[in-house]
Structure formats: C-alpha cells, structure tokens
Amino acid sequence: MRFLLIEDNRELALATRDRLTLDGHVVDHAADLATAQDYARTMSYDLVLLDIMLPDGDGRDFLAYLRDIRSDTPVIAVTARSEVSDKVGILDLGADDYISKPFDFAELEARCRAVLRRRAGTSSNTQRIGDVAFNRLGGTLTIENRIIELRNRELRLFELLADNPNVIFSKPKLVDRLFSFDEDVSENAIEVYVGRLRKHLAASNVSISTIRGLGYRLDIG
C-alpha cells in the first residue's frame, strides 16, 4: 500500500515512515500543506496520515480539499487536541479515523489496518478469495491447508490485486504503488514479484493473468 504522511515534526515523521516501511508499505512524506497537495495531485494513495497543525495552515483544509475533489482516499487525522468537539469536527469533515498525539506505533498500525479493511469491505484480517484464505495481518496465503508466507512486496502486490478484482494494473502503475520516489527500480521488478505470486497460487483457482499490452489482473476460477 502507498501512504501519504503529512507531518511537520521531522523526527516523528521519520520514525513513523520507518515503522510503516517495515510493514511493507510505501510512504511519501510531506512536511507542509503545499507539498501534500502537490503529491495528491500527482499520485494515488491508499491512505493518508494527516497532522492537523502544520506550518503553512490547518490540516483540515487539506482534508476538505480531498473531499471537494471527490477523493475517497481514507484519512486518519493525527491531532494533539483532546477536545471531543475537535475530534467530532474532524470526522464530520470526512476523516475516517483519528489518533491523538503522543501515540503508540502499535495502535497506529492497528488503526491503519482497520481503515484499510473497511475500505476493502471486510471486517476481518482474513479474506476469502476463491479457494485461497488471505491473512493480511499474518501476511500469509492458505491453499489446501498449506500456509504460504509472503514477503513484504509480494504481500502488498497481492493485497493491491485482491482489493481491486477485475482491475487491470499496468507495470508503471504497480511500480508507483509498490515503490517510493527514491527507489530506483525498473518495471522488471514487477515481473519478478508477479512470477513469485504465480508460483504460490499454482495449486489454487486464483491466478494472475497477463493482459497483453495492458498489464496484470487477478482472476478467480
């Protein structure tokens, strides 16, 4: 998954980015509203972590901007304010959740998972896809009672395909979703991860099809 982290505290931003990167996510960091808006105009994100107090304005303005352009990207607001009215106002503006500073990283990760589950239309960490049981939290596929552990990139690629059935993803699009701006990778890397997933799925009724000239799609049956 590709996250946009909007946070002006550099130390907190780096720590948050490093923690989420360990989970296999790609994290772009913006330290102010102007940079965040530039990123949002050029990149598609699975989740936004939005600090409310920013050096060039109020994070709620960015949230309003997202909803004004009819973006349904999930947003978790990060706020130092503890008043109920502030939290209610953030949620009413269109935030999907909020977390108060200072926060524990385990709680942040759990809230991210919960928001992403809701977006995918499931309340459980385990999703049934054909005859495959996909455990997002554990990062595993279970096929014919055999548990297959996915590496981070494999997990995020399968997660992306599983959340968007019948959608064709081009190689450039997959590179954008799986790698950060500062990672120098070629589209051949996508072929490698697709190949690994195909081997994992060989004994199931789930497959990744190559749509010639367009990209890849997850198929069932």
CA–CA separation, 121 and 115 (whole Å):
10
Q: Look over the chain and give the mean of its residue pLDDT values, rounded to a whole number.
A: 91
The reply to whether 98 and 154 lie within a common domain is no
**3-state DSSP call for residue 180?**
coil
Integer-rounded Cα Rg, in Å, for the chain is 18
The reply to whether 108 and 174 lie within a common domain is no
pLDDT at 87: 81
pLDDT at 82: 67
Percent of the chain's residues with pLDDT above 90? 70
pLDDT at 155: 94
The reply to whether 133 and 94 lie within a common domain is no
The reply to whether 61 and 142 lie within a common domain is no
What would the pLDDT profile of 35-63 be if each residue is shown by its tens digit?
999 999 989 899 999 999 999 999 999 99
Long-range contact pairs involving 159-166 (C-beta distance under 8 Å, separation at least 24):
159/1, 159/134, 160/1, 161/208, 161/216, 161/217, 161/218, 162/120, 162/127, 162/129, 162/134, 162/218, 163/119, 163/120, 164/218, 165/218, 165/220, 166/217
Q: What is the mean pLDDT of residues 137-152?
A: 94
The reply to whether 6 and 115 lie within a common domain is yes
Phi first, then psi, for residue 97 (nearest 5°) are -165, 175
10, pLDDT greater than 90: yes
Closest CA to 98 of 78, 74, 84, 116: 78
The domain boundary, picked from 93, 120, 147, lies at 120
6, pLDDT greater than 80: yes
What would the 3-class secondary structure string for 130-142 be?
CCEEEECCCCEEE
* Residues 155 and 196 sit within 8 Å (Cβ to Cβ): no
What would the pLDDT profile of 11-41 be if each residue is shown by its tens digit?
999 999 999 998 889 999 999 999 999 999 9
pLDDT at 123: 63
Question: Concatenated DSSP letters for 181-218?
Answer: TT----THHHHHHHHHHHHHHTTSSEEEEEETTTEEEE
85, pLDDT greater than 80: no
Which structural domain range is residue 32 located in?
A: 2-120
Q: What is the mean pLDDT of residues 82-98?
A: 85
